[in-house]
Amino acid sequence: MADFDFDLFVIGGGSGGVRAARMAAQRGARVALAEVAKMGGTCVNLGCIPKKLYSYAAHFAESFEESHGFGWVGEAPVLNWETLKTNRAREISRLNDIYMQLLKSAGVHIVDGWATLTGAHTVEVAGQRYSAKNILIATGGKPGIPEFPGSEQVISSNEMFDLSPFPQRLLVVGGGYIACEFASIFNGLGAHVTQLYRGHQVLRGFDDEVRGFIAGEMVKSGVTLHLNTDVAAIERTEGGLQVRLLDGSHITADSVLYATGRSPLVEGLGLDAAGVRQAKSGAIEVNDQYQTSVPSIYALGDVTARVQLTPVALAEAMVVVDALFGPPAGKKPRSMSYDFIPTAVFTHPNIGTVGYTQAEAAGKFGKISVYRSDFKALKHTLSGSTERTLMKLIVEDATDRVVGLHMVGADAGEIVQGFAVAMKAGATKAVFDATLGIHPTMAEEFVTMRESVKP
C-alpha cells in the first residue's frame, strides 16, 4: 500500500470542506485542509451570515414606524452604517475563530494557501507538496460580472458589506435571490434602491405566484423594479454613476451591484492536469458518491453546481465521509436526496419554500389541487403596514400528498422549516387537516386551508 502524508486532503475551508475534514478526523483519519482565505467560506464571510445580520438591521426601520400603531411615540433612531459594519465584522471574526478551533481540536492539519492538484494523490500549496490517499475539492463558487462598457465600475455581492460611504442610490442588477435580498436589505437600511432584471419576473425557478407576489411587496416597500431591460453601459461622472439602459434611458446611482449569477471556483486548481472532468459551466462532474472522473478525487458543494445551499454542502460532506471512512457504529452509510429541500429568501417580507412549484407539480403529477391564502397578518391590523402574506399548498390528487408548500411573509423561513419535516415524511393533506393550529399565528393557516382553487 502506498504511503501517503494524509488519508484525506481537503481543498477549501467553507461549510462543506470544514464539515468533511472535521468529521473525517474524528473518525481517526489523518486529515489536512488548505484554505487561502478566512475559515467559513462564502456563507460565513460574504453570504448567509452577514446577509442575515444586515436583514435584521434593515427590519428595524419598519419596526420603528409600525410601533406607532401600538402606542409607541417619538422619533425613530437613525442608522450608523459604520457601527453596523464594525459589529458585523467582529461577529464574523468570532465565527472564523470557532471554525478554526473546531478543526484544530479534531486534529486537522491546517495549510494556509491555495492548493493546486499535481496528480491523482498530490497537491501543492505555496511550493510545498502533500500526498493523500483521497482529495476532496470544496472550493465553492464566486460571483460573476459580465463584460460591457463600464463594467469595471460595478461591484459584486462580496463588496456589499463594507461599502464606504453608504450608497444613498443603489442599483441592483439581477433577479435571483441574492439580488432580491440585497435590494430589500438596502431599501430597508435607507437607500433609494432600483432593481433591474432582463427577465419578465424576478426569482426564476420559484413558484410563479410567489414571484409576482414578492415583486409587488418589494415595490410597495419602496424598491423601484424595472423588468425586461438590461444595462448597456456605465460611466462615472461627478454626479455619480450614469447607467445607460438598452432602451436608451438612464439611471444615476452611487453604487451598482451586479448579482447576475455565480460560477464554480475552479481557476488554479489544476483540474485539467489531474484529469478531472468538468461540465461546460466549469462545474466539476461527480457521481452519487461525489467522486470525480479521477477515483481518488472527490468534490462537493457549489463547485459541483448542483444545489447551491449551505445545508446541502454539509449533507454532501457526510455522504463523502461515510463512503471513505465508514458510518458511525450501528448506522448505515448516508445518501443524499435532493427532493424536498427547504429554502428561504430573505427579502422583505421573507420567502420560504419546500417541494414543487405549481407548474412543476402539474407537469410531474398531472392532476393536482392548489390551496392558497392571501391575507393581512394580525400584526398589521394595528401597524399601519399594507404588507400581505401569501401561503400556498400543492397536493397530488392521486395520493393526497402535499408536494409543494410556499410562503411569503414574516419569518417564512422559520415556519417552513418545521413543515419541511412533515413533507419529507410524506404528509398528506388529510394529515395537515387533522393537525391543530397554534392560534393566533400565521403558521396555523397551513393547517386550516380547506377550499382548493383551480390550478
Report d(CA 134, CA 97) in Å as an integer. Answer: 27
Task: Flag whether pLDDT at 305 surpasses 60.
Answer: yes
Report d(CA 419, CA 417) in Å as an integer. Answer: 6
Name the catalytic one among 59, 68, 250, 439. Answer: 439
Task: Flag whether pLDDT at 1 surpasses 80.
Answer: no
Please report, for residues 5, 13, 125, 132, 213, the alpha-carbon distance to residue 120 in angstroms, rounded to integers and kept in the order given. Answer: 14, 21, 15, 9, 50
Instruction: Give the three-class secondary structure for 74.
Output: coil
Task: Flag whether pLDDT at 2 surpasses 80.
Answer: no
440 pLDDT tier (thresholds 50, 70, 90)? very high
60-111 pLDDT, tens digit each: 999 999 999 999 999 889 999 999 999 999 999 999 999 999 999 999 999 9
**Encoded amino acid at 394, one letter:** I
DSSP 3-state helix, strand, coil percentages of the chain (rounded to 5)? 35, 25, 40
Please report, for residues 110, 123, 208, 269, 298, the alpha-carbon distance to residue 137 in angstroms, rounded to integers and kept in the order given. Answer: 15, 11, 35, 9, 6
Report d(CA 241, CA 195) in Å as an integer. Answer: 15
Q: Of 190, 233, 18, nearest to 110 (Cα)?
A: 18
Task: Flag whether pLDDT at 59 surpasses 70.
Answer: yes
| pLDDT for res 452 | 92
Q: Is 439 a catalytic residue?
A: yes
323-358 pLDDT, tens digit each: 999 999 899 999 999 999 999 999 999 999 999 999
137-146 pLDDT, tens digit each: 999 999 999 9
| Phi and psi torsions of 438, nearest 5° | -95, 115
Please state the rounded mean pLDDT for residues 383-403: 98
Supply the mean pLDDT for the chain. 97
364 pLDDT tier (thresholds 50, 70, 90)? very high
Contact call for residues 247 and 240 (beta carbons, < 8 A):
no
| pLDDT for res 94 | 98
The pLDDT > 90 percentage for the chain reads: 98
197-209 pLDDT, tens digit each: 999 999 999 999 9
Please state the rounded mean pLDDT for residues 162-179: 98
- H runs (alpha helix) in 384-428: 412-424
Please state the rounded mean pLDDT for residues 244-270: 96
The reply to whether the predicted model has a pTM over 0.85 is: yes
Task: Flag whether pLDDT at 416 surpasses 50.
Answer: yes
Task: Flag whether pLDDT at 166 surpasses 60.
Answer: yes
